[in-house]
C-alpha cells in the first residue's frame, strides 16, 4: 500500500540554488550573446565585466551545490534509471495530448522522473563542465595567464563555449515548455517556491516520517492511499 502525502521535497538551499542559478544563467546568456555580437543593448566592456563576475559567482554556487548534493545524499535523485522510462516517454510523446495522467509520482527516494534525471545528469556532467572549463580557459588566455593553453586554439574554445551556451538555451526552452503542460504553470513551479509537493510513500516511510521528521510533512496533510502501486 502506498500513500500520497504533501511533504517537503525541495530543501531551502535547493530552492535558493535553483533560483539564483536561474538568474545567473540569464545574466550570462544576456552578456554572453552581447560579447558574441548578437545584440548591442549594453557596451562590450560592461558585458565582459558582467559576464566575468556572473561566471565566478555561478562556479562558486556550483561548488557549494556539489558539496551539498554529496554530503546530504541528494545526488541519488539525479541518477538515471530505466524504471518507468518507457511509460514516461510515451506520456510526453502521446499521452499528454490525450489528457492522460502523468504515470510518474514523486517518491521518497526519487523525486525526478527518469527523463528528468537523464536531462539533469547530462546538464551537470556534460554541458555545465563544458561551459565553465572552456570559459575559464578563454578567460586565462585573454588575461595572458594561460599562454600554454593558447595552442588549443581560441576559436575552438569559443565554439565549444557557444555550443554549450546554446544547449543551455535549448534546455531552458524545453524546461519552460514542459511547465506549461499538464497542470497549470503555477502548479508546476509552486513546489520550487514552497518546497512542498505530493510524494508517494510506503506505509513504512510514512510511519518513519511521522515519528522522526514530522516537520517535513505539510500540516493538515492527509495521506491518500493508492492501492494501484
| pLDDT tens readout for residues 181-228 | 766 667 778 888 988 888 877 777 777 677 777 667 776 555 555 544
Which CATH number is 2-226's, of 1.10.3720.10, 1.20.950.20, 2.60.40.10, 3.30.1320.10?
A: 1.20.950.20
pTM value?
0.79
Across-strand partners of 107? 200
Q: What is the pLDDT of residue 151?
A: 61
At 58 the pLDDT is 92
Q: Which positions ≥6 away from 134 have C-beta within 8 Å?
A: 157, 158, 160, 161, 164
Where along the chain do its domains lie?
A: 2-226
Could you give the 3-state DSSP secondary structure of residue 217? strand
Q: What are the pLDDT digits (tens) for 19-72?
A: 999 999 999 999 998 988 889 999 999 999 999 999 999 989 989 999 998 998
Do residues 221 and 5 lie in contact, with contact meaning Cβ atoms separated by under 8 Å? yes
Tell me how far apart the alpha carbons of residues 220 and 45 are, in angstroms, rounded to a whole number: 54
Tens of pLDDT, residues 87-134: 888 888 888 777 777 778 777 778 888 888 888 888 888 998 999 888
Q: How far is CA 72 from CA 65, 68, 153, in A?
A: 10, 6, 40
Amino acid at each position: 500500500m502506498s500513500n500520497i502525502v504533501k511533504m517537503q521535497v525541495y530543501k531551502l538551499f535547493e530552492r535558493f540554488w535553483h533560483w539564483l542559478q536561474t538568474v545567473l544563467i540569464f545574466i550570462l546568456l544576456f552578456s554572453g550573446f552581447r560579447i558574441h555580437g548578437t545584440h548591442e543593448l549594453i557596451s562590450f566592456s560592461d558585458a565582459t565585466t558582467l559576464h566575468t563576475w556572473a561566471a565566478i559567482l555561478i562556479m562558486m554556487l556550483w561548488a557549494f551545490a556539489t558539496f551539498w548534493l554529496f554530503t546530504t545524499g541528494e545526488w541519488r535523485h539525479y541518477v538515471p534509471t530505466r524504471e518507468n522510462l518507457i511509460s514516461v516517454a510515451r506520456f510526453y510523446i502521446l499521452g499528454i495530448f490525450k489528457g492522460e495522467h502523468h504515470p510518474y509520482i514523486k517518491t521518497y527516494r526519487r523525486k525526478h522522473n527518469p527523463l528528468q534525471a537523464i536531462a539533469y545528469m547530462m546538464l551537470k556532467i556534460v554541458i555545465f563542465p563544458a561551459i565553465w572549463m572552456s570559459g575559464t580557459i578563454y578567460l586565462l588566455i585573454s588575461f595572458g595567464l594561460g599562454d600554454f593553453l593558447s595552442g588549443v586554439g581560441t576559436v575552438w574554445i569559443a565554439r565549444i563555449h557557444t555550443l554549450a551556451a546554446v544547449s543551455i538555451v535549448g534546455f531552458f526552452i524545453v524546461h519552460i515548455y514542459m511547465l506549461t503542460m499538464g497542470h497549470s504553470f503555477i502548479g508546476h513551479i509552486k513546489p520550487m517556491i514552497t518546497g512542498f509537493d505530493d510524494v508517494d510513500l510506503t506505509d513504512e516511510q510514512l510511519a518513519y516520517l511521522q515519528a522522526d521528521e514530522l516537520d517535513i510533512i505539510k500540516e493538515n496533510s492527509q495521506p491518500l492511499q493508492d492501492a494501484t502501486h
